Amino acid sequence: MARLARKPPANDEFEITLLGPGYGESIVIHLGADEWLVNDSCLDRESGVPAPLSYLESINVDPKMVRLVIASHWHDDHIRGLARVVKECVQAKFVCSAALRSNEFLALASTDGHNKMRPTSGISELRSIVDVTSSRQPPLRTPVFAVADTVLHRTVLGDGRAVAVAALSPSPEQVANGLQQIARLIPEVTARRGRVPDLLPNATSVAVWVDVGDDAALLGADLETSGSAASGWLPVGDSNVISGMRASAYKVAHHGSVTGHSDVIYDRLLTPSPLCVLTPFRRGRVTLPADQDIARLCERSTSVYSTVKHVPKRQALDSAVERTLREMRARLQAIDPTMGAVRLRKKFGAADWSVELSSNAGSMCGEL
Ligand SMILES: [Zn+2]
């Protein structure tokens, strides 16, 4: 990693560090008084170590100080190395979405790991996490299945400041959809029920609200807008864990994609011109954020930072080569660039954040 300064935050500093190499995302948060949270994981290509663990080591913080490890959803760009993170964060509760889909349910249900499903790496990580947590003592033994409006962690710091971490999603409707997907696995139920709606993992992402008393941060996961008033971002505006607070820092939903945009986010959840941080997403022909995404984000904020400013685009290939690759079902992958990082710090009660960038990170506004 093109490293940031190695000094850890002070006890009375709120810190949000976003890590991402161009495909992958992890957020490490200091809640105050040496209590930490890790949200998602990606791998540091140079060392092969999960980026949040590399980062904590680089600032000399023991993973034992992590109180919560949250998996926002089971997509590979958010999950790589997460089982190792859970293993090393021995005093952390593990949190995942309550809206499990059928393959995630099977991974949880098959304790011997021998079901016939061909696992994605995300599902393999889930199985490994269950192996790790099941050897722990309660209450760390069982994953916490997050649903909207649940408080995941609450603590009172030495100065009397109450700090709370809460899930803003998935909504009850999204959880119900997940159960229907699982029901599809049971033939008699399926015969009666007929067609079951598809449930994409982004729709079931756990968006997180971090309230440190006089300020808050919104972690948007990959939560997308939805046509329904009962799912996606719309119900989040009415969440009762927010209680009139506005967040001054925002981990932009779904890599800045328009699908993760909702006016609710800016009109109900964030301060005017909030500090926005994102990781890009580059895979195959998909590159996020697109130029129009950056323009939209920079209309809402003058401070938008990406962990990797220039993500290499995939070279166009000869059409015959493209066709052959398609027939072979091969997928080209650019080599991940070096891990990038954006670190935000502020003393509790201070007005402004300080922003530190790794050498490949950068500001996105004012350059289109
Ligand atoms: Zn993602």
| CA–centroid distance for 310 within its chain | 21
- Give 255 Cα–ligand 1 centroid separation in angstroms: 6
Mean pLDDT check: name the lowest of 52-61, 96-105, 280-289: 96-105
Structure tokens at 202: 């982004």
CATH of the domain at 318: 3.60.15
Is 8 part of any domain? no
- Give 189 Cα–ligand 1 centroid separation in angstroms: 33
Residues around the ion ligand 1 (C-beta < 5 A) = 77, 222
Is 236 part of any domain? yes
Q: How far apart are CA 2 and CA 18, in angstroms?
A: 13
More confident residue, 316 or 31: 31
- Give 188 Cα–ligand 1 centroid separation in angstroms: 35
Cα 161 to Cα 64, 156, 174, 178: the distances in Å are 22, 5, 33, 37
Query: What are 263-273's pLDDT values in tens digits?
Result: 999 999 999 98
The pLDDT value given to residue 323: 77
More confident residue, 194 or 149: 149
The pLDDT value given to residue 2: 54
The pLDDT value given to residue 26: 98
Confidence of residue 119 (pLDDT cuts 50, 70, 90): low
Query: Which residues, 6+ apart, have CB-to-CB distance to 299 below 8 Å?
Result: none
Cβ–Cβ under 8 Å, residues 354 and 9: no
Q: What is the mean pLDDT of residues 68-80?
A: 92
Query: What are 35-44's pLDDT values in tens digits?
Result: 999 999 999 8
Cβ–Cβ under 8 Å, residues 169 and 221: yes
Is 119 part of any domain? yes
Check pLDDT > 90 for residue 255. Answer: yes
The pLDDT value given to residue 167: 97
Is 1 part of any domain? no
Residue range of the domain that includes 335: 13-363
Is 6 part of any domain? no
Is 7 part of any domain? no
Query: What are 213-239's pLDDT values in tens digits?
Result: 989 999 999 999 887 888 899 999 889
More confident residue, 101 or 127: 127
Residue type (1 letter), 361 = A
Q: What is the DSSP letter of 134?
A: T
Check pLDDT > 90 for residue 320. Answer: no
Confidence of residue 113 (pLDDT cuts 50, 70, 90): very low
- Give 210 Cα–ligand 1 centroid separation in angstroms: 20
Confidence of residue 367 (pLDDT cuts 50, 70, 90): low
Q: What is the mean pLDDT of residues 294-319?
A: 85
Number of structural domains, the chain?
1
Please give the angle made by the CA atoms of 237, 238 and 241, to the nearest 5 degrees: 100
Q: Which of 121, 45, 143, 125 is nearest to 85 (CA)?
A: 125
Q: Is 290 left (phi over 0), alpha (psi -120 to 50) or beta?
A: beta
- Give 368 Cα–ligand 1 centroid separation in angstroms: 24
The pLDDT value given to residue 317: 67
- Give 160 Cα–ligand 1 centroid separation in angstroms: 36
Q: How far apart are CA 73 and CA 35, in angstroms?
A: 23
Q: What is the mean pLDDT of residues 312-321?
A: 69
The pLDDT value given to residue 196: 47
Is 5 part of any domain? no
Q: Which of 289, 330, 292 is nearest to 309 (CA)?
A: 289
Check pLDDT > 90 for residue 243. Answer: no
Helices (H), the chain: 51-58, 76-79, 82-88, 102-109, 121-133, 172-183, 187-193, 263-264, 291-300, 319-327
Confidence of residue 125 (pLDDT cuts 50, 70, 90): confident
Query: What are 178-200's pLDDT values in tens digits?
Result: 787 777 766 665 555 555 455 56
Is 4 part of any domain? no
- Give 190 Cα–ligand 1 centroid separation in angstroms: 31
Q: How far apart are CA 307 and CA 297, in angstroms?
A: 15
Q: What is the pTM of this model?
A: 0.89
- Give 117 Cα–ligand 1 centroid separation in angstroms: 23
pLDDT mean across residues, the chain: 87
